């Protein structure tokens, strides 16, 4: 009787453990980054190549990643593209520093002098400066940074 | 003996069901950028649900902290103008067993405040239903802090929680918005894996404990004269001039007056969730 009871208990525990992993209401995952993909056609040396362009979307729809893939078995265009690494680097820098980029974009649609100043004074612990003059000069640097265009 | 066994089994069932409730819900939070504006801005917010409490927060302070740390590591100057703002200006911690919340402000920088509240949410459940993320959700209405809200909750997810300060429905709130759609929370994802947490940021900040009434009063005074403390410091230290980054001499009184005027204008237009 005792053995049966423990067997039952073990089965019960196992079933709950199993349920915990498999039988919950998680129908989708977090959508932290959305990736938009398009296939475009590019003519090179009288041949048309399919390029798969993917743009990663971060918070507030800003660009967080960018990739270009040449579809098909012909690697000619890929080799040509990869040969000019400096050009690729410059293009990526230009994309990531655009206004709509997550890294370089200025503002998030809600810039306020108040928020900017409070973030700045908080970061540099202005009110913890040992003297009142120190506290004021620190906070003034933040005000200058945030209130001027 | 039999009674003990049943009690023990109930305990086992209960403990397993509790551990199963630890997960995160992602809500897209949209709001009108300002009062009477048609421009809408949105931000990711998260409801981390644990065994006996939940935390609701915006991704902005987490992102801002990451950006600042990364800039410091790379030796870059931090650009405070581009840091993401917390659209909610707070984090909310709920203890559903006591129907109480703790509000942590996130708008004043160094001196933030926290207060406890037991929101009185009287829900009227309607018959309308629809689907959100594959869950059947039902309409419920309530009024809170000067706004009328419509919420959709999922009885399939038997957790009486929701975004911001909202809770108390027989299922997780997956969507809630006020009648003007000034503020709108919509669940866009649910996961076991908590990839983002605000607990460390809350723990490292100093919060001044207050009451909601005092907080509202203090904020009212702040938005009338946001540079008050700076003027006091200017007068006590008698620092009336300062050089900017380009070496130009700046009139401190003029700078503070201009900044205060800008801030007051911003506060007048702000679209706060609580009226």
In-domain check, residue B7: no
Among positive and negative, which fits the CA dihedral B49, B55, B60, B62?
negative
Same domain, B263 and B218: no
As a whole number of angstroms, the distance between CA B93 and CA B100 comes to: 9
Residue B142 lies in a domain: yes
- Do B162 and B268 share a domain, yes or no? no
Q: What's chain A's length in residues? A: 149
pLDDT at B183: 96
Give domain status of residue B231, yes or no. yes
ipTM of the complex: 0.84
Query: Which residue has tokens 């915990």?
Result: A20
Distance from CA of B98 to the nearest CA of A (A): 26
Measured in Å, how far apart are chain B's first and last C-alpha atoms?
58
* pLDDT value at residue B114: 96
* Residue B206 shares a structural domain with residue B230: no
Q: Is B230 within 8 Å of A136 when comparing Cβ atoms? A: yes
Identify whether residues B126 and B180 lie together within a single domain: yes
Burial track B34-48 (b if 16+ CB lie within 10 A, e otherwise): beeeeeebbbbbbbb
**Across the interface, do A146 and B80 touch by the CB < 8 Å criterion?**
yes
pTM here is 0.73
Whether B9 is covered by a domain: the verdict is no
- Identify any residues that bridge with B117 across adjacent strands, giving them in sequence order: B101
Q: Are residues B193 and B98 in the same domain?
A: yes
Residues B255 and B176 in one domain: no
Confidence at residue B1, expressed as pLDDT on a 0 to 100 scale = 55
Q: What is the residue range of B111's domain?
A: 18-224
B11, part of any domain? no
Q: Output the average pLDDT for chain B.
A: 89
Low-confidence ranges of chain B (pLDDT < 70): 1-21
Q: For the CA atoms of B147, B153, B158, B163, what is the dihedral angle to 10 degrees?
A: -40
> Does some domain include residue B1?
no
In a domain, B6, yes or no: no
Domain boundary among B202, B224, B246: B224
Please check whether residues B132 and B253 belong to one and the same domain.
no
Is the confidence at residue A39, as pLDDT, over 90?
A: no
- CATH number for the domain spanning B122: value is 2.50.20
Distance from CA of A81 to the nearest CA of B (A): 29
What pLDDT score was predicted for residue A57?
Answer: 64
Angle made by CA atoms A123, A124, A128, in degrees to the nearest 5: 115
Give chain B's domain count: 2
Q: Which residues of B touch A123 (CB under 8 A)?
A: 68, 78, 80
pLDDT tens across A84-110, in order?
777 777 777 666 655 555 554 444 557
Give the nearest partner residue to A30 out of B63, B107, B189, using CB atoms.
B189
- Give the N- to C-terminal CA distance of chain A in Å, as an integer: 81
pLDDT score recorded for residue A24: 39
Does residue B28 sit in the same domain as residue B54?
A: yes
B20 touches chain A (CB under 8 A): yes
B122 and B82 fall within a common domain: yes
B241 versus A5: the higher-pLDDT residue is B241
Answer for the pair A10, B9: CB distance below 8 angstroms, yes or no: no
In this complex, the residue of B33, B188, B263 whose CB is nearest that of residue A110 is B33
User: B126 and B246 share a domain?
Assistant: no
């Amino acid at each position: 009787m005792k053995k049966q009871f423990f067997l039952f208990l073990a089965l019960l525990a196992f079933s709950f453990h199993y349920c915990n992993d498999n039988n919950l209401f998680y129908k989708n995952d977090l959508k932290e980054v959305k990736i938009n993909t398009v296939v475009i056609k590019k003519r090179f040396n009288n041949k048309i190549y399919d390029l798969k362009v993917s743009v990663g979307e971060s918070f507030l729809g800003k660009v967080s990643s960018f990739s270009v893939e040449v579809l098909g078995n012909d690697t000619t265009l890929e080799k040509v593209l990869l040969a000019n690494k400096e050009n690729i680097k410059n293009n990526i820098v230009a994309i990531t520093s655009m206004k709509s980029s997550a890294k370089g974009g200025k503002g998030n649609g809600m810039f306020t002098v108040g928020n900017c100043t409070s973030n700045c004074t908080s970061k540099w612990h202005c009110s913890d400066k040992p003297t009142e003059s120190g506290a004021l000069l620190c906070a003034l640097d933040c005000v200058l940074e945030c209130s001027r265009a | 003996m039999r009674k003990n066994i049943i009690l023990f089994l109930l305990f086992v069932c209960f403990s397993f069901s509790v551990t199963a409730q630890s997960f995160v819900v992602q809500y897209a939070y949209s709001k009108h950028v300002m009062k009477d504006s048609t421009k809408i801005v949105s931000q990711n917010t998260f409801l981390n649900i644990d065994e006996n409490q939940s935390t609701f927060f915006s991704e902005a302070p987490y992102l801002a902290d990451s950006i600042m740390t990364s800039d410091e590591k790379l030796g870059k100057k931090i650009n405070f103008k581009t840091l993401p703002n917390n659209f909610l200006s707070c984090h909310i911690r709920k203890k559903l067993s006591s129907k109480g919340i703790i509000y942590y402000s996130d708008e004043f920088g160094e001196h933030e405040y926290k207060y406890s509240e037991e929101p009185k949410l009287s829900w009227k459940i309607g018959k309308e239903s629809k689907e959100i993320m594959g869950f059947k959700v039902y309409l419920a209405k309530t009024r809170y802090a000067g706004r009328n809200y419509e919420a959709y909750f999922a009885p399939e997810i038997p957790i009486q929680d929701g975004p911001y300060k909202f809770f108390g429905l027989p299922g997780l709130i997956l969507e809630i918005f006020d009648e003007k759609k000034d503020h709108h929370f919509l669940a866009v994802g649910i996961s076991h894996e908590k990839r983002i947490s605000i607990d460390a940021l809350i723990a490292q900040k100093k919060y001044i404990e207050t009451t909601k009434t005092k907080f509202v009063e203090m904020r009212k005074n702040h938005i009338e004269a946001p540079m008050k403390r700076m003027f006091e410091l200017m007068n006590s230290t008698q620092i009336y001039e300062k050089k900017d980054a380009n070496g130009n001499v700046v009139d401190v009184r003029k700078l503070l007056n201009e900044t205060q005027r800008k801030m007051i204008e911003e506060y007048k237009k702000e679209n706060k969730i609580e009226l």
